Amino acid sequence: MAPTVLFFFLVLLVSYTSSAMVTLNAEDFGSYKGSAVKKFTWTTPDGFSVSVISYGATIQSIKVPDRTGVLADVVLGFNDITSYVERNTPYMGATVGRCANRIGGANFTIDGIMYKLAKNIGENHLHGGIVGFNKVNWESRVEGNKVVFSYLSKDGEEGYPGDLVTNVIYEVREDNSLHVEFKSTTTKKTVVNLTNHSYFNLAGHQTGADEMLKHVASINANKITETDSESIPTGKFINVGGTPFDLRTPTRIGSVINKQENLFDDNFCVNTYGNKNVNFVARVVHPSSGRYLELFSDQPGVQFYTANSLPDPSTPALVGKDGAGYRRHGAFCLETQKYPDAVHHPNFPSAFLSPGDVYTHRVIYKFGAEKKASHSSSH
């Protein structure tokens, strides 16, 4: 036991010296089913920091300076492991899988065999099932300035075929960017579509809908996937031009939601998908603080979601970090992904993974602050 512990701290020591401008620290964050939950925190010289916990390979905190250097934690979450286990039904910050988003009818067919999954949202399947990747304590190891979280999802888990080995690799760089890479391999043909489900509010996690609706967003997408009343894709696409989904130019989120309250919970089809490198996906800015998030990914879609399912003002809030009350439209999510329900639509990018192939998914969250108040347009 002692040599393992010594090795672990030696690796951590290396991580401190491997990037002179970014420090990485590890600490305990309680325990889950008898195993220790670890918390890893990266910090850059200007105070930008990211904390990730091993339970759910979950982003627990991202602190971003505004244009005057004032830090705010811009992701919703909890202060303790008990709250994550018992109350994180919105998947705040979690790694979601095996299959993020919805699978219509909670089933799919591979080589003539139908696999039945949990119906955990109406008659459909959502975010990997009853015990998805968000509800397990991942193994973790430090590699230089990166933390690698690993999980073996066994054949038949939540109804999915194949032993699936997944690594989620987190790294923070000096330019205040968070790099995340997902990798999976399988022993049987299966379905894989992973994402991170962080809820962002660039004014601060506790500021609620009043500030979130002031955010200005742009998304690099000319179309969305059309869905039915249960948010299951029909297989068709909707061009965003002339619709509330036209976020190709910077648009104040509140100006759109105020006109059509059930917005947003939609898959936007990234225009430049197919390029070899990561592509620009979206940019969101909070004008008064200057804080912005720029998102880059190699995935074909991004789910833009404005926390519609958090409690509305007539019901008790979901209590999060530092006693903050989280409510409807108090945050936004940008979940890079394959299109929802891809298993049933051959015209969508495939979500199937075969033995011998490697599922990969790269996403970059770049944070900063505009030096002058934004004059971004809205419509």
User: What's the pLDDT tens digit per position in 119-162?
Assistant: 999 999 999 999 999 999 999 999 999 999 999 999 999 999 99
User: What's the whole-number mean pLDDT along residues 231-241?
Assistant: 98
Residue 368 phi, psi (nearest 5): -170, -170
SS3 of 78, please? coil
Q: What is the pLDDT of residue 6?
A: 36
Please tell me the distance from the alpha carbon of residue 156 to that of residue 63, in angstroms, as a whole number. 39
Please tell me the distance from the alpha carbon of residue 370 to that of residue 83, in angstroms, as a whole number. 34
Q: What is the pLDDT of residue 372?
A: 82
* Percentage of the chain exceeding pLDDT 70: 93
Examine the pLDDT at 15 and tell me if it is beyond 60.
no
Examine the pLDDT at 72 and tell me if it is beyond 90.
yes
Examine the pLDDT at 18 and tell me if it is beyond 50.
no
Examine the pLDDT at 9 and tell me if it is beyond 90.
no
User: What's the whole-number mean pLDDT along residues 301-320?
Assistant: 97
Pair of tokens at residue 321? 């970090």
Residue 2 phi, psi (nearest 5): -60, -45
Q: What is the pLDDT of residue 32?
A: 98
Contact 165, 155 (CB under 8 A): no
Q: Does domain 2-369 have CATH number 2.70.98.10?
A: yes
Q: How confident is the model at residue 19 (pLDDT cuts 50, 70, 90)?
A: low
Q: Which residues are catalytic?
A: 197, 335
Examine the pLDDT at 14 and tell me if it is beyond 50.
no
Q: What is the pLDDT of residue 10?
A: 36
Examine the pLDDT at 2 and tell me if it is beyond 90.
no
Please tell me the distance from the alpha carbon of residue 182 to that of residue 193, in angstroms, as a whole number. 10
Q: What is the pLDDT of residue 3?
A: 40
User: What's the whole-number mean pLDDT along residues 252-274?
Assistant: 90
Please tell me the distance from the alpha carbon of residue 43 to that of residue 292, in angstroms, as a whole number. 18
Examine the pLDDT at 16 and tell me if it is beyond 80.
no
Q: How confident is the model at residue 275 (pLDDT cuts 50, 70, 90)?
A: confident
SS3 of 240, please? coil
Q: What is the pLDDT of residue 276?
A: 77
Examine the pLDDT at 20 and tell me if it is beyond 90.
no
The domain locations on the chain are 2-369
Examine the pLDDT at 375 and tell me if it is beyond 70.
no
Q: What is the pLDDT of residue 259?
A: 73
pTM for the structure as a whole: 0.93
Residues 6+ apart with CB under 8 A from 227: 233, 234, 266, 267, 340
Q: What is the pLDDT of residue 4?
A: 37
* DSSP string of 298-347, one letter each residue: SSSEEEEE--TTSPPTTSPPEE-GGG-EE-TTS-BEEEEESPTTGGG-TT
